Amino acid sequence: MLTVPAFTWSRPTSVEAVLAEIAGTSRDDVLLVAGGTDAVPNLKHRLHEPRRIVHLAGVRELRETREDEHGLHLGALVRLSQIAGDARIQRDYPAVARAASLVASPQIRNMGTIGGNLCLDTRCTYYNQTFFWREALGFCLKKSGTRCHVVTQGKRCVAAHSSDVAPVLIALGAQVEIANAAARRTIAVEDFFVGDGVHNNVLESGDLVTRILLPAASRGRRMAYQKLRPRAAIDFPMLSVAVAGSLDADGAIEALTVVVGALGARPRTVGQLDAIVRGQAPGEPVWEAVAQAAHKQCRPLTNVPYDPDWRHDMVPVFVRRALRDAFARPA
Amino acid sequence: MSERAPDKPGMSIPSGRKMPREDRLKPPDWAGGRSAAPNDGGFRTIGKRNRKLEGLAKVTGRAVYADDLTLPRMLHGKLLRSIHAHARIVSIDASHALALPGVHAVITGRDLPSYFGIIPWTEDEQALCEDKARYVGDAIAAVAADSELIAEQALRAIRVEYDVLPAVHDIDTALAHPEWQVNEKASEGNLSKHVLLEFGAVDADLEASDVVVEAEYWYEGSTHAPIETHCALADYDPTGFLTLWSSTQVAHYLHRDLAKVLELPTQRIRVIQPTVGGAFGGKSEPFSLEFCAAKLSMVTGRPVKILHTREEVFYAHRGRHPMRLVYRTGMRRDGMLTATSAKIHIDGGAYSSFGLVTTYYSGQLLTAPYRLPAYRFDSTRVFTNKPCCGPKRGHGSVQPRFAFECQLDKLAEQVGLDPIEVRRRNFIGEHTRTVNGMRVTSNGFLQCLDAVEAASGWRDKFRRQPYGRGIGVAGSMYISGTNYCIYPNEMPQSAVQLKLDRSGRATVFCGISDIGQGADSMLALIVAEELGVDLRDIRVVAADTDLTPVDLGSYSSRETFMCGNACLDAARKLRETITGTLADRWGVPRGEVVLAGGQAVWTRDPAQHAMSIQSAFQAAESAHGTLGSVGWYQSPKLGGDYRGGTIGASPAYSFTAHVAEVACDEETGFVKVERLWVAHDCGRALNPVTVEGQMEGSAYMGFAEALFEEQTYKPAAVGHAFGLHHGPSLLDYRIPTSLDTPEMSSHIIESVDPEGPYGAKEAGEGPLHPSVPAIANAIHDALGIRCDRLPFHPPQVRALLKATDARAAWERARTSQRGVRAGAGGC
């Protein structure tokens, strides 16, 4: 079978201990492992070749959840199956529960965590392969090489953001807490991601994602998540659409956010929707206009399997479905 | 590659002559025949829903697979594979690898120069490529080290200098560029095998047909993806004796080829097949890892294990051949077939494997269950720089079956007949002969059609559901073993030695290869039925060349039929011994002694004469000495009187009909198969649970090929050359999950074949065939599009919907059907 490379390993039991251990290390030297469902295959494929693995499973603080006036705080190690099955999340943030329930398979959701899903390494059909395969291909610029096999003249990696949960978190205005040995800071999940497939988030060496906040203001908003995948389980998204919105007292659309994932390195928030939707009555004519706007702004690539033209055609289809889903549901 | 027919009388028979006189080994005739129950009053074990022998061990983790085995001082081997699709090997420098601590040996092609191949006429493989690599993943060196990790590091330290050659990536390039020769053993260019056979006046009959449909089909390649990857453990001991445990389905052929390549006497090699975790044809010939594990063990003097990674299974491949099939099929207005012409191109990959047979099978196995009055096929297999294709469940005949059953659906639409009715009208019948000279014995195809028609509610659904929902039908036939061994010889194809113990236990020794299908259990069922022994008191010792008599292995659906017949004979011989002993002792006619339910009794008055089976065995042992018997199977001489006329000839054929119901998403192109109805004529179900398991497994595998699975390769692009597998993992090679697979109902049809053990025929491969065309035909009923190319991915379905006026075609099909119904009502 495929082997894992040699590394040293630790299992600290507090956030402080983790931070102390990773402070001053370089990003390539240390791999933080939560559920390990993505990290282990990546190790076997030699996508990660860390000297040291810090296993977070023993950090109790990272498993905690609490609710206050700001909203629902989810520790980074809360398992995806727990989120999918939590009655409060199903009620207040149904799209979050839905997205978590659509990750991979029951076994993987039992191990995989929300923090891990947020930090999921970007994926590409030319990257998520064995060492042998990538050597035969010619290493790419995400790992060990200089060439992009998706955008042949490209100088920037376009490996696809493939987290199911992140687009929903962005649509809901969720925040993420990041800690390092010096301080803790909180930023919007939308600002967590950057458009570089090699490393698509703002985490620096020494940083640890500790907490995710589902804001109180988004509780009970109209929301939905739609995932395009060939099989009814296992597959990463080939396209994902998260929507969140609200209606005013008259039943007209007050606000709407549409986030599309599995395109490039970061989820794309569909722009300039306000002019299309604000004050309009929810329904097919508006959904169609939103769908067409998304179609214009989203451009699938060959980084993800299946014909990109077909996936492009599916953008408006899945946007419409997500909108219908979100607004059919009673507030 | 040229075919060299063996120089034997009877192999090249002048046409027009009758079949040759039967002069082969002939199994015994039994009063009442092979299909009858041994005792009056019917079957006691056969036909009952029994557990498989090995089931409990598997589900409790006690079954021992090849990779579960470890030996003292064992080393781990790994194979270095080519990173180029086509390249001359200029040099290999292993010095850095050998210098690594923990590395014990490196071998290259020069260490194992002999060519081998499963078909004796096309031996074109080396365990390690000596001069040239022919696909990305072709093995060129092997290392043995203390651990897998060290072995992997050693592979990276081996320096290979390549001279990269132009790669042949598809059928057309193979034909257009014979100078880019993939395989030097080819007789010319990239030609692997060409077969052209014609029966009847095809062109004239096509000309005279009322309707002719011509279409081109593409069947994409797919691989077996067994759960267990290949694994071999070799132990060459100081006496010069080699033991090899391997996850193979052909221990006997492996035994022979090991001797050849390793240059060891056959009698100093023992091949053992441990529990195998699925094979589906993907383990039915020798592989590099078996030779290399053995050679590395010989070099190091230590046991060596090599386990394929999942990725390597995709390179070892031998999966379903991609085929391009052009069919012209004619029909009369009354629905009767007239003539069929097929031109088929087969993408073989880099080596021959079973390709000679595949090329024949692509045409020879289409000639039932329908009568084809005139038939021609022209099949060409080519070499390309890709992993080698071979036999996958339904070897060679799944692809043409897909094309032909779609042709039938189109013709039925054109003549305005229900597609089930068209299939009924063309039924070939039983105890007959096909246009290409195959003898058909029992044939339950009509009952299969009746069963799926009734169970699916066909009449209320076909052409009657709203747009997006549809139902389709298809039929097929398959072999129950072939009539010859792969290498010509006059010895039996299967054999059993049966030992009875004075403890009351029976042990069956047989080379039979159980790869999960339940073959071992079939032998136990037969012994239980004949000798009245409880199933738990029967042991099957299988597939160990030191302990068991030869069986050729698990391919072409031969095990139940052939080993079963051998076992039936062995058990009947001992039954006669035992019943004869008791009859003498009791002074009753031997026909009145029954062995059943762990007892031997006099049927007239069990109260007067009865004893346990254990006592009965002891009585017989006392009278006759140690109890043992042999049985063997050799098929009768079969086939057509022409070159290649024996390929596809089988002692019995199974028949299958499927109905598939689909719900399609017009907006996305997703096809959901909601339900499959499968009816299969297996002769007699020795164990209905096992037969249903095979029907379900087959139908699911076909369904998966229809909608999901494809073994494809990345095209050349800026920055990389051709030849990389699209995604050699179970994430990227998409096998449907339990959520994707449809509900299924299985209907066993029992035609009771006169030559099968208790009338049994095959069940492991036949039921796959109609899956794909039934789904294609259902999609047409649902959407008005013809899916002539596999797989029916959402992008492809969407593209067809966009490219054609599907709604109009859908309406037209309805009108044609309604017209016929109205017409029929007026009669």
Question: What is the interface pTM, i.e. ipTM, of the complex?
Answer: 0.96
pLDDT at B10: 33
DSSP conformation letters of B634-654: -PPP-S-SSTTTTTT--S-EE
Say if the Cβ atoms of A2 and B740 lie within 8 Å. no
pLDDT band for position A27 (cuts 50, 70, 90): confident
If one looks up domain B492-633 in CATH, what number appears?
3.30.365.10
Best of A127, A134, A137, A288 to substitute, by most chain B Cβ atoms within 10 angstroms, is A137
Q: Are B820 and A331 in contact (CB under 8 A)?
A: no
Measured between CB atoms, which of B720, B731, B740 is closest to A149?
Answer: B720
Q: Which residues, 6 or more positions from A4, have their beta carbon under 8 angstroms from its beta carbon?
A: A40, A43, A44
**Chain A interface includes B599 (CB < 8 A):** no
Chain A nearest-CA distance from B410, in A, is: 28
pLDDT at B186: 97
Measured between CB atoms, which of A152, A231, A313 is closest to B737?
Answer: A231
Q: Is the pLDDT of residue A216 over 90?
A: yes
Chain A / chain B CB contacts < 8 angstroms: 90
Chain A nearest-CA distance from B144, in A, is: 15
Max Cα–Cα distance, chain A, nearest Å: 62
Q: Is the pLDDT of residue B348 over 90?
A: yes
Distance CA B294, CA B260 (A): 12
Average pLDDT over residues B636-657: 95
Question: Which strand ranges, in their side-by-side order, compose the sheet holding A8-10?
Answer: A8-10, A52-55, A30-33
**Chain B interface includes A128 (CB < 8 A):** yes
Phi, then psi, of B364 in degrees rounded to 5: -70, -25
Say if the Cβ atoms of B737 and A2 lie within 8 Å. no
- Say which range, B278-282, B680-684, B720-724, has the weakest mean pLDDT: B720-724
pLDDT band for position A329 (cuts 50, 70, 90): low
More confident residue, B487 or B568: B568
Say if the Cβ atoms of B717 and A132 lie within 8 Å. no
pLDDT at B441: 98
DSSP A257: E
**Chain B interface includes A137 (CB < 8 A):** yes
- Chain-centre distance of CA B406, in angstroms? 23
Q: Which CATH number does the domain B66-165+230-307 belong to among 3.40.50.1980, 3.10.310.40, 3.40.50.10680, 3.90.1170.50?
A: 3.90.1170.50
Return the structure tokens found at B7: 């120089």
Q: Is the pLDDT of residue B827 over 80?
A: no
Q: Is the pLDDT of residue B117 over 50?
A: yes
Architecture of domain B323-483+641-823: 2-Layer Sandwich (3.30)
Distance CA B711, CA A128 (A): 17
**Chain B interface includes A313 (CB < 8 A):** yes
- Say which range, A308-312, B6-10, B538-542, B758-762, has the weakest mean pLDDT: B6-10
**Chain A interface includes B607 (CB < 8 A):** no
pLDDT in tens, A76-100: 999 999 999 999 999 999 999 999 9
Average pLDDT over residues B774-803: 97
Closest CA to B504 of B622, B612, B577, B578: B612
**Chain B interface includes A147 (CB < 8 A):** yes
Instruction: Show me where the domains of chain B are located.
Output: 66-165+230-307, 323-483+641-823, 492-633
pLDDT band for position B22 (cuts 50, 70, 90): low
Say if the Cβ atoms of B739 and A232 lie within 8 Å. yes
DSSP B725: B
Say if the Cβ atoms of B799 and A2 lie within 8 Å. no
Other C-beta atoms closer than 10 Å to the C-beta of B658 total 35
Question: Which residues in chain A are contacts of B795 at CB distance < 8 A?
Answer: 306-307, 309-310
Q: Are B570 and B496 in contact (CB under 8 A)?
A: yes
Return the structure tokens found at B446: 């009509």
**3-state SS assignment for residue B264:** coil
Best of B732, B735, B800 to substitute, by most chain A Cβ atoms within 10 angstroms, is B732
Is the four-CA dihedral A205, A206, A210, A211 of positive or negative sign?
negative
Q: Is the pLDDT of residue B5 over 50?
A: no
Measured between CB atoms, which of B708, B720, B734 is closest to A137?
Answer: B720
Distance CA A260, CA A228 (A): 11
pLDDT at B818: 61
One fold for B66-165+230-307 and B492-633 = no
Measured between CB atoms, which of B307, B732, B798 is closest to A305?
Answer: B732
Closest CA to B541 of B520, B567, B516: B520
**Chain A interface includes B724 (CB < 8 A):** yes
Say if the Cβ atoms of B740 and A128 lie within 8 Å. no
Say if the Cβ atoms of A130 and B728 lie within 8 Å. yes
Q: What is the mean pLDDT of chain B?
A: 95
pLDDT in tens, A35-66: 999 999 999 999 999 999 999 999 999 999 99
Average pLDDT over residues A205-233: 97
Cross-strand partners of A9: A53
Distance CA A168, CA A115 (A): 14
DSSP conformation letters of B674-713: EEEEEEEE-SS-SSHHHHHHHHHHHHHHHHHHHHT----B
Q: In this prediction, what percent of chain A has a pLDDT beyond 70?
A: 99
**Chain A interface includes B303 (CB < 8 A):** no
**Which chain B residue has the Cα nearest residue A146?**
B719
Question: Which residues in chain A are contacts of B671 at CB distance < 8 A?
Answer: none
pLDDT band for position B25 (cuts 50, 70, 90): confident
Measured between CB atoms, which of B136, B152, B740 is closest to A232?
Answer: B740
pTM of the model: 0.96
Mark which residues 79-108 of A lie under 8 Å from B by CB: 105
